[in-house]
Structure 1
Amino acid sequence: MKFLLVSVELTFVIIICALRKFDVTAQTYVTKYGRSDSPPYQEIGTFYEGYPDYTYEERIYDSAYWITTQSASGFNILFQYISGRNVKQKKIPMTSPVLTTVSSFTYYNAPEMAFYLPPNHQNNPPSPTDWRAKLKKFPSMTVYVRRRYDGWGRYASVQSELSKLKRSVTFDKKKFVSSMYATAGYDGPRHSGPRRYEVWLFAEEK
């Protein structure tokens, strides 16, 4: 058994070392592949591209306002906010992704769900009238991301992708916040075909 475990670990190391030469680095600003309804980010690189069990992206997101909630009725609360349940009674376009952050304290609190506020609402976002919704200005952040096109991002799939992401990032000796992760959903319930979701790890601040 010990020999088998060593062999598996050695095989993984050999594969990862072989894949390093396929790393791609880019320094361009992008918004959801040509769409303007997502927060802008700087793509640092796509690593192990072409090898789906190891591929991940590294991104830097700008500081921005998001509307958030930790209520069990999270989506409805946020949707009501952008539908006009705010102090300005302003309707705000729906954006993507719907970001859900899970931490080691989720047992005591529901995961935090968040909608990004579009650029024309970033300077003076309207305050929510529902106490369960909170405006937050997320700081600039570096995230490690795995993308999938697979149904609704069910728990088993998310955990599988999260495990793969942690494995690759750890092998690259990049530090991340081990007590939390996030899922990002891009497609609404009426979308036909495979739905895109992502799994995020947050880089530790240097």
Structure 2
Amino acid sequence: MKLSFVVAFLVCAQLARAQYEDEPNERAPYSVLRTGDGYEVRAYPAAKWVCHSQVQQAASRRKDTRAFFALFRYIDGGNEAEAKIPMTAPVSMKKTPIDDKVDAQMCFYLPAAHQASPPAPTNAELYIEERPAFTAFVRIFDGFANKDRVWEEASEALKVDLEAAQEDEVDFSFFYRAGYDSPMKFKNRRNEVWFLNKKKLSLHLCC
């Protein structure tokens, strides 16, 4: 079982590397409304993302890898249209605690060419999520954010800055992680954590 997982991981990693040879040519659009001490306030328009969600053990990272490659196979033609979809940025992750486990949601932003009518996934674990427009309070940081602790420390630092600035429209109940780079990129990496404004997103499935 372990050997088959490693082989599958290496095959998928080679495919992902081909997609990642260049920087993603499209990123989720946003506009910077203003900047603060250590953060930006951004407006994101409504957009569709392809997502994978699964309840997992809090310390597990294997299922994060499973989610990534399920999503990667979708953009590599594993959809009802058999469409090849360019890799975009960022990859977003939201982890919601449930007792001693977490509900982990990973999503790829769908490029503009597929926003109006995204091809349906063939994998039942994947779905298209339509996020309405939202405002995010964002901290940017570099390096390899490959441990939960790194993201949590970044989110806590952002929370401290926002509280010091007396930002009173922030929902601190959860945060998004946003990664922009391939694992094969070693310099000038870009990671972000997002807190949203208190106006709740009315997420819904589409298509």
When normalised by structure 1's length, the TM-score is 0.75
1:30 match: none
Whichever residue aligns with residue 39 of structure 2, its letter is Y
- Residue correspondences, number: 167
Does residue 114 of structure 1 match 2:140?
A: no
What CA deviation, in whole Å up to 9, does each residue of 1:132-182 have, x standing for no partner? 001011111111110001223532222221111111222323232232111
Is the CA contact 1:40–1:62 (under 8 Å) kept in the aligned structure 2? yes
When normalised by structure 2's length, the TM-score is 0.74
Q: Distance in 1 between matches of 2:98 and 2:136?
A: 20
Indicate how the Cα distance of structure 1 residues 159 and 44 shifts in structure 2: closer, same or farther if over 3 A, else same.
same
Does residue 179 of structure 1 match 2:135?
A: no
Does residue 62 of structure 1 match 2:45?
A: yes
Of residues 74, 80, 93, the one that matches 1:81 is 74
Is the CA contact 1:70–1:109 (under 8 Å) kept in the aligned structure 2? no
Indicate how the Cα distance of structure 1 residues 154 and 194 shifts in structure 2: closer, same or farther if over 3 A, else same.
farther
Counterpart secondary structure, 1:114: strand
Calculate the aligned-residue CA RMSD, in Å: 2.0
| CA apart distance, 1:56 | 0.5
| 4+ residue runs over 6 A deviation | none
Counterpart secondary structure, 1:179: strand
Work out which structure has the larger RCO, using CA pairs closer than 8 Å and 6 or more positions apart in sequence: 2
Indicate how the Cα distance of structure 1 residues 152 and 168 shifts in structure 2: closer, same or farther if over 3 A, else same.
closer
Tell which structure's C-alpha radius of gyration is larger: 1
Q: Distance in 1 between matches of 2:94 and 2:159?
A: 16
Is the CA contact 1:151–1:194 (under 8 Å) kept in the aligned structure 2? no
Counterpart secondary structure, 1:88: coil
Q: Percent identity?
A: 31
Counterpart secondary structure, 1:168: helix
Counterpart secondary structure, 2:172: coil
Please list every run of 5 or more consecutive structure 1 residues that lacks an aligned counterpart in the other structure.
1-34, 49-54
